[in-house]
Structure 1
Amino acid sequence: MSQNREGEQGNVPHRSGRFVEKSGYWYYQTREGVDIGPFDSRADAEVGVGEFIDFICASAPEAAKIIERYRAA
């Protein structure tokens, strides 16, 4: 059963896995729908997503807007 994240209210939204394997390489997906990778292993992708989240949290709000431009259509 899913629970709201800290600060969320209302119904819990659908959440999917963040990691995908394509042609033997691993990628993580951002909320904006961008696949980031390739990584040689899922463990490497997990490290990568942590670094990405740290970067976004430390960046100016405009950084997320730039990433949004690369959203998968």
Structure 2
Amino acid sequence: MTLEHRDGEQGEVPERSGRFLEKSGYWYYQTREGVDIGPFDSRRDAEVGVGEFIDFICASAPEAAKIIERYRAA
């Protein structure tokens, strides 16, 4: 798999990982900030959820991303 820059990225291309994960029979998606969002009953539900999350962030004021940043995994 070739790693490519995303729009707006500069410098070395960071390592990418999958956005969806399963824990204890439930599905979650992970934000760029490292926050696991869920649980969802199926991967499909998590896929719908991440789409809704992205739509929400895109429509929100820039401060919304700053709030999510507070929950970054340590």
- TM-score using structure 1 length: 0.90
Q: Which residue of 2 aligns with 1:47?
A: 48
Q: Which residue of 2 aligns with 1:26?
A: 27
Q: Which residue of 2 aligns with 1:67?
A: 68
State the identity %: 88
- Runs of at least 5 residues in structure 1 that lack an aligned partner in the other structure: none
Q: Which residue of 1 aligns with 2:59?
A: 58
C-alpha displacement at 1:10, in angstroms? Answer: 3.7
| Alpha-carbon distance in structure 2 between the residues aligned to 1:30 and 1:12 | 18
Task: Give CA deviations for 1:36-70 in whole Å, capped at 9, x if unaligned.
Answer: 00001111101100110010011000001111111
3-state SS, counterpart of residue 8 of structure 1: coil
Count of residues paired in the alignment? 73
| Alpha-carbon distance in structure 2 between the residues aligned to 1:64 and 1:6 | 17
RMSD over aligned Cα atoms: 1.1
- Runs of at least 5 residues in structure 2 that lack an aligned partner in the other structure: none
3-state SS, counterpart of residue 22 of structure 2: strand
